[in-house]
Amino acid sequence: MIPVAEPFLGEDELRYVTDCIKHGWISSAGSYVKKFEKEFAKFCNVKYGIAVSSGTAALHLALLASGIEKGDEVIIPNLTFVSPASMTKLVGARPVLVDSDSETWNIDPKKIEENITGKTKAIIPVHLYGHPSDMDQIMSIAKKNNLKVIEDACEAHGAEYKGRKVGGIGDIGCFSFYGNKIITTGEGGMCVTNNEKLYEKMKYLRDHAMKPDKRYWHEEVGFNYRLTNIQAAVGIAQLEKIEEIIKAKRNNAMIYDSLLKGIEGIMLPPNKFWAKNVYWMYSILVNDKFNLSRDNLMQKLREKGIETRAFFYPLNEMPPYRSEGEFEVSKKISESGINLPSSAKLTKEEIKKVCSVIREVAEVK
Ligand SMILES: Cc1ncc(COP(=O)(O)O)c(C=O)c1O
């Protein structure tokens, strides 16, 4: 099988993990976690990084530190992985779902303002599959309405919006280092911010909300969302090759684009002039003009040894998030989207194989 994703691991990961073990740094005490936070924040061009146990934990801490609580509303794209919505529920707030933009597949900034009420406290733009959301518009709406912006950059490490790295544009940026992400620590995540107060708050909540100068004293409910040094050691080795990984992904996307261009019924992934996509997942939309349905094309690819994945379901269709509204664009994107094999380790021959199966299907009369 040509996989959808696979980790890009090497000797350095092994070396740094071995060093951790030799020092006895198996939990969060040790030098790798701090180094990983510092280096990752630098990569995002922000001041502070708080390493956590997952991207979901990062979103939870970001919401708590932003003061989101029961009765508040948080604006979220209808087409995303579930975490921003589930974490909004977890803090007692209501996820308010907004339809997608047909060109970027991200939250449609034109539809945000009509969803703002007196209870709205934050917007969580998600940079879906590696393409940035239109941050200027989102930041200006947030400023006008006094809302926090929590960027969900879990799928977009290194992606750029008008020359700025995503995650460093809003109040807080959240990243995931799950095994299939651009860089991985197995499980893991990071919050990044330029705001010292938010940084201190997230650090405190990550560690059981224990009073810094009074051990075992807690004035708030906190969590254990710490990352271990062993994970951070893998993360540092990964970060050392992140540019190589992103370069490989962009190069693969160029090859895919050139081989899939012009096939009737296939829409290629977005790459707006103001954006630099990192193609976490190289994704296409299959519309009615294509010879097969989306699901039948996926089946055909599977038969030829090619793994693919269907897009996320629209949040509004699932029981905990069910809501009324116009979600036509996100529904259409969700129903027609496929993630093709997107690993940085993919060879040109493998990409050619994937594209030739799609082209063969397209050319059957
Ligand atoms: C957009 C988005 N947000 C949040 C997450 C959650 O990250 P994690 O799996 O590390 O909890 C993921 C990925 O899994 C994601 O794709």
CA nearest 16: which of 28, 38, 31?
Answer: 31
Pair 124, 174 in one domain: yes
Give the burial class of 71: count Cβ atoms within 10 A of its Cβ; 0-12 exposed, 13-18 middle, 19 or more buried. exposed
Burial class of 213 by CB neighbour count within 10 A (0 to 12, 13 to 18, 19+) = exposed
Say how many Å lie between the CA of residue 266 and the centre of ligand 1. Answer: 27
> How confident is residue 364, by pLDDT bands cut at 50, 70 and 90?
confident
Residue 365 pLDDT greater than 80, yes or no: no
User: What whole-number distance in Å separates Cα of residue 272 and Cα of residue 161?
Assistant: 9
Domain termination site, one of 192, 219, 240? 240
Q: Mean per-residue pLDDT for 35-64?
A: 98
For residues 183 and 270, state if they share a domain: no
Q: Alpha-carbon dihedral of residues 213, 219, 225, 229, nearest 10 degrees?
A: 10
Spacing, Cα 225 to ligand 1 middle (Å): 15
Q: Are residues 293 and 256 in the same domain?
A: yes
Instruction: Residue 137: give its domain's CATH number.
Output: 3.40.640.10
Residue 2 domain flag: no
273/162 same-domain check: no
Whether 155 lines ligand 1, by a CB cut-off of 6 Å, is yes
151 touches ligand 1 (CB under 6 Å): no
Does ligand 1 come within 6 angstroms of the Cβ of 189? yes
**Separation CA 62–CA 68 (nearest Å):** 9
Q: State the average pLDDT over residues 79-88.
A: 98
Per-residue model confidence (pLDDT) at position 363? 86
At residue 40 the predicted structure's pLDDT band, cuts being 50, 70 and 90, is very high
Q: What is the pLDDT of residue 213?
A: 95
Mutating to test ligand 1, I would choose from 53, 87, 155 the residue with most ligand atoms within 8 A of its C-beta, which is 155
Q: Are residues 39 and 162 in the same domain?
A: yes
Q: What is the DSSP letter of 315?
A: G
In angstroms, what is the span from residue 58 Cα to ligand 1's centroid?
9
Domain that holds residue 275: 242-363
In this structure, is residue 271 part of a structural domain? yes
Domain count for the chain? 2
What's the pLDDT score for residue 137? 98
For the four alpha carbons of 27, 30, 36 and 41, in that order, the dihedral sign comes to positive
Q: What is the mean pLDDT of the chain?
A: 97
Given ligand 1 and candidates 81, 82, 180, which is best to mutate, with the most ligand atoms within 8 Å of its CB?
81
pLDDT tens, residue by residue, 104-147: 999 999 999 999 999 999 999 999 999 999 999 999 999 999 99
Q: Give the model confidence (pLDDT) of 228-238 as tens digits.
A: 999 999 999 99
Q: Mark whether 178 and 289 lie in a shared domain.
A: no
Encoded tokens for 23: 């020092």
Instruction: Look at residue 220 and tell me if it is in a domain.
Output: yes
Q: Is 49 found in the same domain as 198?
A: yes
Per-residue pLDDT tens digits for 3-37: 999 999 999 999 999 999 999 999 998 999 999 99
Residue 4 lies in a domain: no
Distance 186 CA to ligand 1 centre (A): 13
Q: What percent of the chain has pLDDT over 90?
A: 98
- State whether the beta carbon of 152 lies less than 6 angstroms from ligand 1: yes
CATH number of the CATH domain containing 264? 3.90.1150.10
Whether residue 147 lies inside any domain: the answer is: yes
- Ligand 1 atom showing the smallest separation from residue 177 Cα: 10
One domain for residues 334 and 201: no
- Whether 349 and 268 map to the same domain: the answer is yes
255 shares a domain with 206: no
Average pLDDT over residues 190-202: 98
Q: Is the distance from CB of 5 to CB of 180 less than 8 angstroms?
A: yes
Q: At what angle do helices 31-43 and 229-240 cross, to 10 degrees?
A: 40
Residue after which a domain boundary falls, among 214, 240, 266:
240
Do residue 115 and residue 234 come from a single domain? Answer: yes
Cα three-residue angle 90-128-149, rounded to 5 degrees? 55
**Which among 240, 266, 290 is the end of a domain?**
240
Q: Is residue 1 part of a domain?
A: no
Dihedral of CA atoms 346, 349, 350, 354 in degrees, nearest 10, equals 130
Q: What percent of the chain has pLDDT over 70?
A: 100
On whether both 250 and 319 belong to a single domain, the answer is yes
